[in-house]
Amino acid sequence: MSASTPRLGDRKPKVLVAKLGLDGHDRGAKIVARALKDAGFDVVYLGVHQTPENVVKTAIEEDVDAIGVSILSGSHIELVSELRKLMKERGIDIPLIVGGIIPPSDTQLLKSMGVFEVCGPGTPLRKIIEIYKKAIEIRRGEKI
């Protein structure tokens, strides 16, 4: 492990990446998961066709520091609403980052629902990695 590998106390930060909904296009989510892993994060990749319930269940089981979901189907408002509802019900207070085809007009709505950041197509991987780092640092109150 290099000196630049992010750490949270005695462990690497751990993130969950998933494709919510029925959309099967997972290339972007896989690229983000690989970039986070290459940057030193532990990554739990759930793949396609995930439900909000399964994302929350896995986040609890894996004790992740952040959740990243990719949504290209246009149902981002409904899926994020259900995901945030379940997170709240289960007491999960960790950052949620949303990526995919999200109309700019929906970004503020998603943030008002508790999304930490929205990353659209073309967001540089370096910026996405920094968003995850910042989200986890704010949540944990600890520099990584």
Q: Show which residues are catalytic.
A: 23, 25
Which secondary-structure segment (H or E) carries 99?
A: strand 96-100
Distances (CA, A) of 66 to 59, 102, 106: 8, 20, 21
Token duo for residue 62 = 């894996």
- DSSP lists the bridge partners of residue 66 as 15
Q: Are 15 and 65 in contact (CB under 8 A)?
A: yes
The CA-CA-CA angle for residues 69, 71, 76, to 5°, reads 100
